[in-house]
Amino acid sequence: MDVIELDRVTKQFGKAVVAVDNLSLSVPKGSVYGFIGPNGSGKTTTLRMIMNILYPDTGVIRVFGAPQVGACMDRIGYMPEERGLYKRMKVRELLRFYGELKGGRRVNQAVDEWLRKLDLSDWGHKKLETLSKGMSQKVQFIATVVTRPDIVILDEPFSGLDPVNAEVLKDAVLELQDQGTTVIFSTHDMNVAERMCDFIFMIHRGKKVLDGTLNAIQDQYGCDTIRIRTEQGASALQNLEGVDKVNDYGQVQELHMAPACDAQAVLATIMSRTAVRRFDLVRPSLHDIFVRIAGPEAREVNHDA
């Protein structure tokens, strides 16, 4: 069952900016759905439309099968990209307020539980203005989930978090999923999307360019990437026949092969130049796919077209 359906949704700001263009999307119940896309591509606008904060110009959005999200607003938790908290309120007081505003009753127990889970118990009586950015972000997350909504929408939940806190938040998200919550989040961290999401959706210039499981997306591109480590590094990988592009990551390089390129021939050429320490023929990473779609070269191609 799909808990969220977008059917040919378009949203335009002014006459010039089409933020979301004829977008259709279905989010299955209990899944973790990752929204990726460059800045300004329409992710936040899409999330705001799902939340009924913005209204689409055309198209229909159904949440829990109903066309109006207003009635079921309390069943959706929403954490915007920009964190907004009353800085002069105390943590526990604020969470109780947000919980009760969301229709929650007797939220005190849930507040205490979440504070403990996210290691914030000692900060419950402190004012928000005394908390660090990471702590504030965790408080914002608790405010989003404290009433145990059926859908949780998180706009950039991991941005600005240190690895420890990111890990804590990741565990919390996965725990929600285990309990049957549908989680949608946007992110610029491709590793997080690859590791956490059941489905990945990419929007670029308002249009859907990717939608599906990671495997399905990668299958579209096939094994066209060589991940290699050599004695001489990137300097030995110049002007290889059949290689479109070399991405140098320092210790490792990635080669994008042109269609019909023979990987064995490429390997033989490289071995004639330097010693090869590692050679993998892999499918492109999500990061790689993202860059191919939204990177400067893609923009040039699109511009030329």
In the complex with another protein, which residue's Cβ is closer, 75 or 117? Answer: 75
From the CB of 157, what's the least distance to another protein, in Å?
13
**Residue 154 vs 217, nearer CB to another protein:** 154
Shortest spacing between CB 65 and another protein, in angstroms: 20
| Longest CA pairwise span in the chain (Å) | 71
Shortest distance, position 105 Cβ to another protein, whole Å: 12
x/- string (CB under 8 A) for another protein, residues 24-43?
--------------------
Q: Is residue 7 at the binding interface for another protein, with CB under 8 A as the rule?
A: no
Q: By C-beta, is 4 or 51 nearer to another protein?
A: 51
DSSP string of 133-168?
Answer: HHHHHHHHHHHHHTT--SEEEEESTTTT--HHHHHH
CA distance 141 to 157: 8
Residue numbers 237-276 binding another protein by CB under 8 A = none
Distance CA 168, CA 118 (A): 7
CB of 80 or CB of 233, closer to another protein: 80
Q: Per CB under 8 A, which region of 78-86, 188-196, 207-215, 274-282 contacts another protein?
A: 78-86
Q: Are 269 and 239 in contact (CB under 8 A)?
A: no
Share of the chain residues as helix, strand and coil, in percent rounded to the nearest 5: 40, 30, 30
Nearer to another protein, 96 or 204 (CB): 96
Nearest-Å Rg of the Cα atoms of the chain is 22
> How near is the Cβ of 80 to another protein at its closest, in Å?
4
Closest CA to 230 of 214, 212, 217, 246: 246
Q: Which is nearer to another protein, 54 or 267 (CB)?
A: 54
Cα distance between residue 79 and residue 287, in whole Å: 24
User: How far is the C-alpha of 187 from the C-alpha of 155, rounded, in Å?
Assistant: 7
Distance in Å, CB of 74 to another protein, minimum: 7
Could you say whether residue 76 binds another protein (CB under 8 A)? yes
Q: Which two tokens stand for residue 54?
A: 């913005």
Work out whether strand 182-186 and strand 32-36 pair parallel, antiparallel, or are unpaired.
parallel
By CB under 8 A, tell whether 78 contacts another protein.
yes
Beta strand residue intervals within the chain, DSSP E = 2-13, 17-28, 32-36, 58-63, 76-79, 151-155, 182-186, 199-204, 207-212, 225-230, 243-248, 253-257, 276-282
Q: Identify which of residues 53 and 209 has a Cβ nearer to another protein in the complex.
A: 53
In angstroms, rounded to a whole number, what is the distance separating the alpha carbons of residues 17 and 8? Answer: 17
83-112 positions binding another protein, by CB under 8 A: 83-89, 97-98, 100-102
Q: Contacts with another protein: how many residues (CB under 8 A)? A: 29
| 77 part of the interface to another protein, by CB under 8 A | yes
The region of 24-32, 107-115, 137-145, 225-233 touching another protein under the rule CB under 8 A is 137-145
Stretch that binds another protein, among 26-34, 51-59, 233-241, 261-269 (CB under 8 A): 51-59
Residues at the site binding another protein, with contacts judged by CB under 8 A: 48, 51, 53-54, 70, 73-74, 76-80, 82-89, 97-98, 100-102, 140, 143-144, 153
